Amino acid sequence: MPSSYRGGAGRVLALAGLSGLVAVTGVAFYGLIGFSGQVADPGTLQDPYFYGILGFSLKQAALSAGLSVLLGYPVARALYYLPGLWFRRTFLTLCLLCFVLPTLVLITGLVLLLGHSGRLAPLLGADWNLYGLKGILLAHVFLNLPFVVRALYLQLLHIPDTAWRLALQLGLPALTRWRLVEWPMVRGRLLVLGGFVFVLCFNSFAVVLALGGGPQATTLELAVYQALKYDFNLPEALTLAWVQFAIAGTLFVLLGRLGGSSWLVLEQGGDRVPVPGRWSRLGHGGVYLLCALFLLLPLLVLLPALADIPASLRLAPLLQALLNSFLLALACVIPATLLAWLLLWPQRLAQLQQRPRRRQLLEWLSTHTLAAPAMVLSVGWYVFVLPRLDLAQWGPVLVVLLNLVLTLPFALQQLRPRLLQFDAQYAPLCAGLKLAWPERLALEWRWLGGSLRAAFALVLLLAMGDVAVFALFGNEAWTTLPWLIYRYAATYRMQEAALASLLLLVVCGVLVWLLEQGRDGGA
């Protein structure tokens, strides 16, 4: 075992970082217990209103997950069977952009496209209404369909050449090849992807906040926010938060046992993919074009905002909100990236020592914040600090802290494969050279290269798009760009909302490009 792994400083820092991460969630759970007699009220569970929002939460999440998987599978097959598709790599980058896109940018595009005065509204009939279940499903499918496409495409790339070669030698028809070769590879992944999308949609906040359209289209996440921010009904907020955490946490644990999803990394597959027939090629091409159109239209509809800038628009608040978003995200991304590298240190040591249970425990502790919805953690901290701190003064610190722990798992996902590759190739050499801990650290940071840039860009992108944490701890004095977009849209200032969304979209596009360059650039 390399002596540099046994460095006392590294292990102490890793333990301190892991303890701090667990302490953040511990404080949130302590806050969820309540204070000054304000505790969870079991009577809320007997209210018909509770069962209404619970039923709608489960319904919209199940429909969103089902549609995302059913529509994503044909698109992934089109990408796999037609490797010569036009703009294929650009389309995959677009999928990544759409999945991590700040929700308010999408909502603005959907309102301009399909709202009451949207460009396509005359084609949809007088009874069309974007707000409610229809709008929520549209937004969720837009955000999660790209996730499913990339994940299933990666899974199809793992079909071995030998399987296709044997199928072609036996002269199997297309349906039999699908049943014997392709379907066994993807069927297990479909369940896992559907489950992850279900959890994402069950915990959705900004989509339902903007497109919910009333009490009949309210989810647990939004009900927690309304009970705390509007009614200041602490017992109800705490009860709903515990229910949501119990459901989301249980689902996350079950899905974790089924397997993970490394959807961000695209790998090259074999070259023995069967050539589809003429009609199959036309079908695959049509599916690809429809999906590209579906993803592009809500973004392209923002462009006319550049040609019709309202005279009343003041650029100073817009630029200040962008600067606030960037500074808050930057304050989050630097410690998140460093902490991710630090938390991987004991996991890699456990891997080298061949202690899989200890490694799995450390991995779970490092990524356990994925099981807690952002609103649940925020409510716990809100209740905890309310009698202790001045939220107007400490709000920015709490926004940075909570976004740090919520985005940390994504930084871990970016850095882990590259560091494990380093251990596999160079750990014996480092041991033979008897490198000290600082020397090994310098080598690792150089080796990380593009993966480090990718982690930085991804965390920055996710932190800049935050809405749920800011909804509780933010205020007008230092509003962020996503929240400014929400304020514009809520007051029907759609031109200003479109321009602000376009500005945020450009920033996100640059960050996604850096993320893809980091993945391609290697070291």
CATH number of the domain at 494, please. 1.10.3720.10
Q: What's the structural domain count of the chain? A: 2
pLDDT-derived band at 286, boundaries 50, 70, 90: very high
Tell me the C-alpha distance between 92 and 239, whole Å: 41
| 392 and 487 belong to one structural domain | yes
Residue ranges of the alpha helices (H) in 38-102? 48-81, 88-100
**What residue type is assigned to position 37 of the chain?**
G
Residues 6+ apart with CB under 8 A from 169: none
Q: Are residues 162 and 74 in the same domain?
A: yes
Give yes or no: residues 172 and 235 share one domain: yes
More confidently predicted of 466 and 439: 466
Q: Are residues 416 and 393 in the same domain?
A: yes
Q: Name which of 15, 54, 88, 45 is nearest 346 in CA terms.
A: 15
Confidence of residue 523 (pLDDT cuts 50, 70, 90): very low
Rounded to whole angstroms, how far apart are CA atoms 162 and 1? Answer: 37
pLDDT of residue 8: 60
pLDDT digits 0-9 by tens, 57-107: 999 999 999 999 999 999 999 998 888 778 888 898 898 889 888 898 999
Distance CA 123, CA 164 (A): 45
| Higher pLDDT among residues 471 and 268, named by residue | 471
- Say if 414 falls within a structural domain: yes
Other CB atoms within 10 A of residue 69 CB: 22
The band of 281, judged by pLDDT with boundaries at 50, 70 and 90, is confident
Output the pLDDT for position 63: 96
* pLDDT tens sequence across 7-18: 566 677 888 888
Domain that holds residue 167: 43-301
pLDDT score at 65: 94
Q: Are residues 164 and 194 in the same domain?
A: yes
Judged against a pLDDT cut of 50, whether residue 264 lies above it is answered with no
- Has residue 114 got a pLDDT over 50? yes
Domain-located, residue 501: yes
Position 258 scores a pLDDT of 65
Using 50, 70 and 90 to split pLDDT, how confident is the model at 32? confident
pLDDT of 262 > 80? The answer is no
Q: At residue 31, does pLDDT exceed 70?
A: yes
**Percent of the chain scoring above 90 in pLDDT:** 22
Say what the pLDDT of residue 72 is.
Answer: 94
| Residues 309-337, mean pLDDT to the nearest whole number | 86
Is the per-residue pLDDT at 166 higher than 50?
Answer: yes
Do 410 and 494 fall within a single domain? yes
Burial 351-365 (b: 16+ CB within 10 A, else e): bbeeeeeebeebbeb
pTM comes to 0.84
Q: How far is 328 from 399, CA to CA, in rounded Å?
A: 8
All residues at 6 or more sequence positions from 89 whose CB lies less than 8 Å from its CB, including other chains: none
- Residue pair 61/260 in contact by the 8 Å Cβ criterion: no
What is the rounded distance in angstroms from the CA atom of residue 140 to the CA atom of residue 208?
10
Choose between 274 and 27: higher pLDDT.
27
Q: Which residues on adjacent β-strands are paired with residue 38?
A: 35
| Token pair listed for 45 | 């569970």
* Model pLDDT, residue 442: 78
Query: For position 441, what pLDDT does the model report?
Result: 75
38 occurs within a structural domain: no
Question: 432 with 451, same domain?
Answer: yes
- Give me the sign of the Cα torsion angle 292, 293, 295, 300: positive
CA-CA distance, 172 to 170, in Å (whole number)?
Answer: 6
Cβ atoms within 10 Å, residue 375: 29
**End of a domain among 273, 301, 329?**
301
- For 401-457, write each residue's pLDDT tens digit: 999 999 998 888 888 888 888 877 777 777 777 777 677 777 887 888 778 888 888
Instruction: Among 301, 326, 344, identify where a domain stops.
Output: 301
Integer CA distances (angstroms), 232 to 224, 258, 400, in order? 10, 39, 24
Shared domain check, 314 and 297 = no
For residue 322, tell me if it sits in a domain. yes
Q: What proportion of the chain, given as a percentage, has pLDDT over 70?
A: 90
Q: Provide the pLDDT for residue 261.
A: 44
What would the mean pLDDT of 461-486 be, rounded to a whole number?
Answer: 88
Residues 183 and 331 in one domain: no
- Do residues 211 and 338 share a domain? no
Residue 136's pLDDT is 94
- The verdict on residue 441 lying in a domain is yes
The pLDDT of residue 267: 46
Do 418 and 297 reside in the same domain of the chain? Answer: no
**Total residues found in the chain within this entry:** 523
User: Of 272, 301, 330, at which residue does a domain stop?
Assistant: 301
- Using the predicted structure, report yes or no on whether residue 37 has a pLDDT greater than 90: no
Q: For 509-518, what is the mean pLDDT?
A: 79
Based on the fold, state whether residues 403 and 338 are members of the same structural domain.
yes
Residue-level pLDDT at 268? 46
Distance CA 464, CA 512 (A): 13
Higher per-residue pLDDT: 387 or 77: 77
Instruction: Give the integer Cα–Cα distance in Å for 341 and 446.
Output: 13
